[in-house]
Each structure stands twice: as structure tokens, then as C-alpha cells.
Structure 1
Amino acid sequence: MNAPDRQEKFVVPEGIKKVAFKPDTKVANAGSFTSQREDHTVGNLIRMQLHRDRNVVFAGYRIPHPLEYQMVVKVQTNGKKTPIQAVQHSLQDLGDEVNDIRAKFQEQLSQFGGGPGGGMGGPPLPPY
């Protein structure tokens, strides 16, 4: 068949960086992050988290072409943070939120079986 291998959508080839930053030459305090092998799920999460930051003036993402398996996030700040700092803080905040959701989920599971595996016969969920 002409279909590409499924792993091509997820595995970053050797020699290609997962994320690359390119500063914007026309707009101050702005730049683009190109992330390989990511989709709308991650793009929308990052965009929405960036919008929560008061130092971010603009945040948006796009998928240039559905067969290229990359996502571009554009960020502009007010100058109190660099775009790199804004994205780093947003990713840290997202990680904290995921860990909080995970802890609450495991707490609820433990009510059904008394153990960290939730009494469902499986091992406890691994930490992130």
C-alpha cells in the first residue's frame, strides 16, 4: 500500500530535534516553536495554557500539513518574559495539573479497593 508506516506519526527520526525555536525577525518578543510528531491535542493544550499567562500577548498553533507530522506554536509576549520562558512555564504548569489530576484519580480508585492499584487486579499506576 501507499500508506506510510504508523510509527512515522509518532517516532522522531534520528538527527531531527523534537522542538526547534525560531525568533520572529519582524515582531519583538515573538517566535515560533516547531514540534515534531505532535498534533492538535498537544497544540491546543499548550495554546490554552499560554493564554492563562498575563505576559503572553498572542499564542496560537497550526498544523502546516497533515502528512508532515509537525506542529508550529507561535508566541508573543509583552517583554517581561521571553517566548521561551513563557512556554517553559506553561509546560511546567500543565505538568503540575496532570499530576494533580492523577493524584485525585488514584485517590478515587483507592476508595474502591483499598490499595494503590484500585482493587482492580492491576499494579499501581506509574508516577510521571
Structure 2
Amino acid sequence: MNAPNRFELYVLGDDEKSLEITDDTKIPNAATIKVVKQDHTMANMIRAQLLSNEHVLFAGYKVPHPLEPYFLLKVQTDGSVSPTQAFRTACQLLIAQLDSLQREFKREFDLQAINDVDSNQAMASRAGAYGDYGVGPRAGDYADF
């Protein structure tokens, strides 16, 4: 197939930079940012975070070709902050949000594990009292010879 090896999609080469920022000369307060070895997932998160900034007028991205592992992000600001600074701020906020999400996720799983242990112990004690099938002994269950 024409697809590159999987490791080429995420491992930077010796001469590759993960980020290239180029100022746009035709549009005021605009820049094009090339992010290497990333895909639509990261591009869309950064774009959405940029658009939540009140100083960003435009943010969009494109993946020029599906077999090339990079995307181009275009950012235009109102001039009160530079596109590079808006990009940096958006990335910092995303990292903080993802860190918070990870902590909440771990906390919920820890609470779920505690609840599972408590419920498993309760079920084990009930099973011991009622037998393997959870049904208590009834009169006439045992043959009387």
C-alpha cells in the first residue's frame, strides 16, 4: 500500500521541527502554523480553543493530504495580541483543561473502584448466606430419606 509506516506518523525525524510559525504578509495580524505529526483531533481542539478567545477573529485548519501527517492552522487576531501569543495561550488552556479532565476521570474511577469493592463484599456476604444462586433455603428443598 501507499500508506507510510505507522511510526512515521508520530515520531519526529532528526531534522524535523514539531512546529513552524510563519507570519502572513497579506493579512494583518495573521499567521500560519504548521504542526507536524498531529491530526484532526489536535487541530480541532486548538481551533475551538482559539475561537473562544475574544481577540481571535479567525481560526481554521486544514490537512493538505491524508498521507502527510501534519496540519496547517491559520490564526488572525484583532491586533491586541499576536497570533503566536494567542496560539500559545490556547495550548496552555487546553493542557490545563486536559489535566483537569484527567484528574476528574481518575477520581471517578477511584470512587467507582471503592464502590465496586463495597458492593462485591456485600454480594459475597449475601451469597454465603443464601448459597451459590442467591436463593435462601426453603422447606422441602432437600430429599428426606
| TM value normalised by structure 1 | 0.85
Distance in 2, Cα, partners of 1:38 & 1:2? 19
Look up the SS of the partner of 1:28 in the other structure. Answer: coil
Query: One-letter code of the match for 1:20?
Result: E
- The correspondence of residues 44-59 of structure 1 with structure 2, limited to 5 A, is 44-59=44-59
What is the aligned partner in structure 1 of residue 138 from structure 2?
none
Q: Larger % of helix: which?
A: 2
Structure 2: unaligned runs, 5 residues or longer = 118-145
Cα offsets for 1:25-69 (capped at 9, x unmatched): 111110000011111001100000000000000000000111221
Secondary structure, aligned partner of 2:81: coil
- Letter of the 1:49 counterpart: Q
- Aligned counterparts of 2:78 and 2:23: Cα–Cα separation in 1: 15
Amino acid of the residue matched to residue 34 of structure 1? Answer: K
Residue 3 (structure 1) shift: 3.8
Larger radius of gyration: 2
- Report deviation, 1:113: 3.0
> Match for residue 62 of structure 1?
62
The equivalences for 1:24-35 within 5 A come to 24-35=24-35
Larger deviation, residues 71-80 vs 96-105: 96-105
- Match runs of 1:84-103 below 5 Å: 84-103=84-103
Look up the equivalent residue of 1:22 and give its one-letter code: T
> How many Å apart are 1:2 and its aligned residue?
4.7
How far apart, in 1, do the equivalents of 2:59 and 2:3 lie? Answer: 33
Task: Tell me the TM-score normalized by structure 2.
Answer: 0.75
In the alignment, residue 17 of structure 1 is paired with which amino acid? K
C-alpha separation between the residues in 2 aligned to 1:5 and 1:68? 12
Q: Percent identity at matched positions? A: 36
Counterpart in the other structure of 2:20: 20
Flag structure 1 segments of 5+ consecutive residues without an equivalent: 120-128
CA RMSD of aligned residues (A): 1.6
